[in-house]
């Protein structure tokens, strides 16, 4: 998919748990979008995150990580609705360290 990324892609919120087998693909997609100047908000977790976060971790709203992903995705959507308040090409890890 990353080879098909162009500047015409829509803004994206991308997240993956640290135990998600698709995590490397999510990192690659976020990087490809950034390279094309597409607005990206990404939430990734360090490998040593206290509890391994599997695929679809964000649906577990009983966990801090699930709630964090929900809050970030809602903020992302609000930013789009409000005319682009989403920062351009932002990728952050939950531990506060950028990619």
44-68: average pLDDT: 94
- What pTM was computed for the model? 0.80
Q: Which pLDDT score, from 0 to 100, does residue 3 have?
A: 87
71-81: average pLDDT: 92
Mean pLDDT across the chain: 87
Q: What is the DSSP letter of 27?
A: H
pLDDT confidence tier of residue 22, bands split at 50, 70 and 90: very high
The CA distance from 6 to 48, in Å, is: 33
70-84: average pLDDT: 88
Cα 45–94–98 angle (5° rounding)?
A: 95
| Predicted confidence (pLDDT) at residue 81 exceeds the cutoff of 80 | yes
Give phi and psi for 54, each to the nearest 5.
-80, 180
Q: Which pLDDT score, from 0 to 100, does residue 58 have?
A: 96
| Predicted confidence (pLDDT) at residue 47 exceeds the cutoff of 80 | yes
């Amino acid at each position: 998919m990353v080879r098909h990324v162009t500047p015409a892609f829509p803004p994206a919120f991308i997240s993956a748990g640290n135990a998600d087998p698709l995590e490397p693909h999510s990192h690659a997609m976020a990087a490809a979008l950034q390279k094309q100047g597409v607005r990206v908000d990404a939430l990734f977790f360090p490998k040593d995150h206290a509890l391994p976060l599997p695929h679809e971790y964000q649906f577990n709203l009983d966990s801090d990580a699930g709630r964090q992903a929900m809050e970030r995705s809602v903020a992302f959507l609000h930013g789009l609705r409000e005319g682009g308040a989403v920062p351009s090409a932002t990728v952050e890890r939950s531990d506060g360290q950028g990619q």
